[in-house]
Amino acid sequence: MNKLFSLILALFLVNSAVVSSLDSCSICVDFVGNSLNDLLNIILNSGVIGTCGDLCSAVPGGQIVDTVCDLLCDYVGVDEFIKLISDVDPDPIYICEKISVCKTNDNAAASLDLVQINPQNGTVGGTFTLSIAYTVTNTIATGQLAFNIIDPTGNAFGDAVLLVQQSPEQYTQQFQFQATPSEQESFPNGLYTVQALVCEGSCGSPHPYTYTLANGTTTFTISGGSDASSMSGASSFSGSSQSSATGAATGGSSGSGSGFALF
């Protein structure tokens, strides 16, 4: 039986709600993204791993995670799977492309039509909505729509959504975040820069099959907080990020708003 069909069938038997909203590529990217650190720790601390079962049975998360891991690992063999996971710069999309679960397109093309944030002049504690519109002109096989926000001190936070088999047409996506100060991000007063990218592959990844197809910027200001001159330290995002999309997009979220700079 085809391994990818087995993956979908196994997940359907365990939890049909999971399969109804995700295809095999999305499942693979979600699994690798969520389980990467656990897999690395198991590989580093377990010595010789002889089979996929030995590796995957140690991954926490229950029957679904164990099944997905085992089938993906079996698809390429335990040695190649460990090699991919142990890469110096592991990338869930690239790993799933190498396993042949996710497709690639070296000729993918897209343009950004709109990068807009509302309100443009907001206050600390307020909710901001980022709207992005883009047009795909040559199918994106597996990629990302990503944004990065740089605060007045140079610290950055961002998020991204997974794009799977996006055919030529226009798409829109909205992200929301709340500018609530925390130890990681103080949201100081001043000018913020928003950067948006459409990519084939993971935005910013050094791996093959990765291309920046389009990028754009906008700005907004925040007031009512501390002055930027008194702020220092690295930033990560701890606000309540949400996203919504229109268009014929498939795929799920990649990134959780948990503080990664994409640029």
Amino acid at 223: S
pLDDT tens digits for 205-217?
999 999 999 999 9
CB atoms within 10 A of CB 74: 17
All residues at 6 or more sequence positions from 99 whose CB lies less than 8 Å from its CB, including other chains: 28, 72, 75, 76, 81, 84
- Give burial (CB, 10 Å; 0-12/13-18/19+) of 115: buried
Task: Provide the Cα torsion 46, 38, 58, 96; round to 10°.
Answer: -100
The token duo for 205 is 């990844």
Residue 229: per-residue pLDDT: 59
Return the percentage of the chain with pLDDT > 70, whole number: 77
pTM: 0.78
Phi then psi for residue 111, to 5 deg, are -135, 150
Residues 137-174: pLDDT tens digits?
999 999 999 999 999 999 999 999 999 999 999 999 99
Q: What is the pLDDT of residue 87?
A: 82
pLDDT at residue 247 is higher than 90:
no
Average pLDDT, the chain: 81
Contact 147, 173 (CB under 8 A): no
Query: What stretches of the chain adopt beta strand conformation (E)?
Result: 109-118, 121-123, 127-138, 140-150, 156-166, 169-178, 190-200, 211-223, 242-246
